Structure 1
Amino acid sequence: MCTPQVAISAQPSGNQENRRELLKIVVATSLVTGLEVFDFTVFGFFAVMIGGQFFPRTDPMTSLLLAVGTFGVGFFMRPLGAMMMGAYADRVGRRAAMTKTSWMMALGTAAVGMCPSYASIGVAAPLIVIAGRSLQGFAVGGDIGVAATLALEAEPVSRRGYRVSWQLSSQGAAALLGASLGMLLTSTMSPLALASWGWGIPFLIGLFIAPVGLYVRRRLREHPVPATTATAARNAGMPLAELCREHGTTVLLAILMMMGQSIPVYSIVYYMPSYVTRVMHMPAITGFLASALSALLLVVIPPLSGRLADSLPRRKPLALLASGCTALLVYPVFLMITRANTALPILCGVALVSVAVAMGAGIIALLVLEALPMRVRASGLAISYALQAALFGGTAQFIVTGLIKWTGDPMSAAWYVAPACAVIFCALMLFKERRFET
């Protein structure tokens, strides 16, 4: 009589412990990654001010061009971080890799946010900023793929889409925080104070990544890498060779699928404050408001899309719908923005694209994770994400700015973004869904 009662009373405790562990995983992989992405992307929101402080030129567009070029430097370090930290995670463990990336991101953020201006230390200033951006890129390149992999591998399997989708929501939350700080600082500080020192406040706030990240991730239980997987990873050394040899098509299609998301996000969401100010000659707060609205949608929609994907027999049709809508909306949205005289058309246009991107972002990451075996999963997603971010995300603002400067036509941004968004649809058509094979 007593034995069954003990067993029954112990069961809820075990379930409660599992729920707590699952919550820790979601927080460690989403909240901390979101803070790291905030540190990395806030540079784009304040590119105009940073350009004036570290790349002073008589032509404001040239100064902005140098600033967004430095923004792209961080992206080119992401593949290196993805290869090294992804391999480390596949060989040693997911938690150990994420703890290291938290430290590196904090150091890079401190270098950018606390660097004296060009007027104070001369050419050393832009060099320090570039070094800080490089360290930030290395850290975030290694963290995103590892964190998403840990979220996927947690139990239960039936809620994979929902867990992985929080990765995308955390990145939207980072953009929302950055845009909100931009609006707050723009509305409460004088333009001179904001340009001289106010832009550094978000970077100092971002330094909380170190204590928060270490506290959360050290409390996370490490899921040991299976012996066969660890042995295979050690024998293979860097997983890049195996990825190219056995999963080259999957990685290539993953790069193209994610490219169709990075380009509109970085060309519209993160670039909008600079675009509105320098190109449309409207108040800066309008651009920050558009970015904040877009980021809010990127927070809310991915978990809903993830839960829907978990309930569907196949995930790919939902991703195809989202990518098709994105490709069709880009040109009309830019047409609406360039002809706007008030903030409302800009907000509506940015919101339309953001909804379409948010619907498919988490689903695509999930498709890629499920298509790769465990021994190279963290490396595969990290490298795919980092390569497309370096080649397309990090260069998007630079290319769009260059097109506008050389043509003098604000609509020239759509000439680059629209075809890129069509590529994701074609890549998705060729991608094989392997949900039930893993």
Structure 2
Amino acid sequence: MEGTKGFSVKRAAFAATIGNMLEFYDFITYSFFAIQIGHTFFPSQSEYGSLMLSLATFGAGFITRPVGGIVLGIYSDRVGRRPAMMLSFALMGGAILAISLTPSYKAIGLAAPIIVIIARMTQGFALGGEVGPTTAYLIEIAPPERRALMVSWQPTSQEIAATAGALVGVILSKTMAPEALEAYGWRLAFLIGAVCLPFGLWMRRTLPETIPQNESGAERETSNHLVLARRHIRVIVLALMILASGTIATYVTQYMTTYAQNTLHVPSPLAFAVSLVSNGLQIAGALLGGWLADLLGRKPVMVWPQLIALLLTYPIFVWIVHAPGALSLLFGFGVLSLIGSLPFTAFYATFTEALPQNIRGGVFATVYAVAIASFGGTAQLVVTWLLHVSGDPLAPSWYLLVAAVVGLIAMSLMPETAPAKVRRT
């Protein structure tokens, strides 16, 4: 472990990931209430137009992710993981409060969507610099034989956030009238996350630092990141492909609430339950993937589950479309979510281990943010557009299949970095 002597590793991991979880809860909650937010801030003559404007604003949060990844990622390498994580968390907190408290378009006119767009871009900047430092931190505090399991709390915390958002959506949709949910119910979902912000800030202040403090900032200049990154260009390109694949899968999964309501016309409680169940199973899959990656190595856990997910995607979507109901949506999509989540914990460990510590936070954050900005910010827009122009409810599966193939090819070419496997070779 680097820099955590005398400090509980479990407590440090919890403090890092609880902040990550709270940030992703508020970021992801937007996608669950895209319809209601569209009506509040982006009134339009058509339901499709309002939804597309709302999703475009959701995508605006991805534009600033690469900037946040570069700025906060390099900041974490030069100054420390803890200050970078504290800064990203504080920025997220301000953006959350802005979105949840901004009056509607009817109340203040054009100022409402402008404020929301700026807040989304601030969230994107914060999250762009969140994942790299947090993932690097988890690797740096973990014993070598448990690195993948420790890093599994990075995607797990994101899925816990998504599950919490879906659970809040289920509860609100069951207890509130549709008019109340649209008027202020979605704001309550954001404010629940805002209430947790002081706790997250306090927890992160207790984290020990893992970056050696005897090195001056001048010894970790920004230019060194570019020079060292070029030596790892093959792994970086493969990582970008894998993250693109995983990002598309993640945000199409988050879109299932809207898809189930708008395209399959199922009741709102069932639509939210789909996200709740699938995200809950992805939590189990992320942790299981980390445990297996430490036991069996990184590559087998990346390649084989990804191949199975690829083969199951289209048949499961056919079942869901032709027999939309609780069984097909909850079981079918749940199975796909569980299997599809296994490879990415192993990937997180592989990519982080393949990078030297002095560029780890910046490179991971930048590559992650570029992939998210390019494919996460457009995923739901692309799916909505495909559904609109094709009229085929199977359209989401087309996008998922292409993404899965790209991810499988890149995973098969990634190096094996598990300490036990590397020592044997």
Structure-1-length-normalised TM-score? 0.92
Residues in 1 aligned to 2:295 and 2:98: alpha-carbon distance in whole angstroms: 45
Residues in 2 aligned to 1:112 and 1:201: alpha-carbon distance in whole angstroms: 11
Q: Which sections of structure 1, spanning at least 5 residues, go unmatched?
A: 1-16
Residues in 2 aligned to 1:291 and 1:365: alpha-carbon distance in whole angstroms: 23
2:364 aligned with 1:381, yes or no? yes
Percent identity for Structure 1 against Structure 2? 37
2:295 aligned with 1:311, yes or no? yes
Deviation at 1:232, TM superposition (A): 3.8
**Structure 2 counterpart SS, 1:170:** helix
2:325 aligned with 1:342, yes or no? yes
From 23, 47, 63, the equivalent of 1:36 is 23
2:235 aligned with 1:255, yes or no? no
2:99 aligned with 1:115, yes or no? no
2:415 aligned with 1:432, yes or no? yes
Residue equivalent to 1:291: 275
Q: Which sections of structure 2, spanning at least 5 residues, go unmatched?
A: none
- Structure-2 change in CA distance of 1:427 and 1:341 (3 Å): closer
Residue equivalent to 1:408: 391
Residue equivalent to 1:397: 380
For 1:257, the aligned partner's letter is I
Root-mean-square deviation (Å): 1.8
Between stretches 87-96 and 204-213, larger displacement belongs to: 204-213
Residue equivalent to 1:264: 249
Aligned residues: 418
Deviation at 1:229, TM superposition (A): 8.4
For 2:154, the aligned partner's letter is Q
Alpha carbons 1:161, 1:310 under 8 Å: kept: yes
- Structure-2 change in CA distance of 1:49 and 1:434 (3 Å): same
Residues in 1 aligned to 2:38 and 2:292: alpha-carbon distance in whole angstroms: 43
From 301, 321, 327, the equivalent of 2:285 is 301
**Structure 2 counterpart SS, 1:280:** coil
Residues in 1 aligned to 2:122 and 2:266: alpha-carbon distance in whole angstroms: 34
Alpha carbons 2:81, 2:134 under 8 Å: kept: yes
Residue equivalent to 2:82: 95
From 167, 178, 182, the equivalent of 1:180 is 167
Structure-2-length-normalised TM-score? 0.94
Deviation at 1:318, TM superposition (A): 1.1
2:264 aligned with 1:280, yes or no? yes
Runs of 4 or more, structure 1, over 3 Å off, are: 17-20, 226-232, 434-438
From 203, 206, 209, the equivalent of 1:222 is 209
Spell out, residue by residue over 1:119-148, the C-alpha distance to the aligned partner (whole angstroms, 9 max, x if none). 111111111111111111111110111111
Deviation at 1:19, TM superposition (A): 8.1
For 1:306, the aligned partner's letter is G
**Structure 2 counterpart SS, 1:260:** helix
Residues in 1 aligned to 2:318 and 2:21: alpha-carbon distance in whole angstroms: 32
- Structure-2 change in CA distance of 1:294 and 1:19 (3 Å): farther
Alpha carbons 1:75, 1:137 under 8 Å: kept: yes
Spell out, residue by residue over 1:65-90, the C-alpha distance to the aligned partner (whole angstroms, 9 max, x if none). 11111111112211111100000000
Residues in 2 aligned to 1:238 and 1:68: alpha-carbon distance in whole angstroms: 38
Alpha carbons 2:284, 2:338 under 8 Å: kept: no
- Structure-2 change in CA distance of 1:191 and 1:238 (3 Å): farther
Deviation at 1:237, TM superposition (A): 4.0
Residues in 1 aligned to 2:124 and 2:369: alpha-carbon distance in whole angstroms: 9
Alpha carbons 1:90, 1:233 under 8 Å: kept: yes
Residue equivalent to 2:144: 157
Residue equivalent to 1:148: 135
Alpha carbons 1:371, 1:433 under 8 Å: kept: no
Deviation at 1:209, TM superposition (A): 4.4
Residues in 1 aligned to 2:294 and 2:216: alpha-carbon distance in whole angstroms: 27
2:203 aligned with 1:203, yes or no? no
Deviation at 1:59, TM superposition (A): 1.3
Deviation at 1:227, TM superposition (A): 4.5
Deviation at 1:40, TM superposition (A): 0.6
- Structure-2 change in CA distance of 1:374 and 1:59 (3 Å): same
Within 5 Å, give how 1:56-67 maps onto structure 2: 56-67=43-54
For 2:52, the aligned partner's letter is L
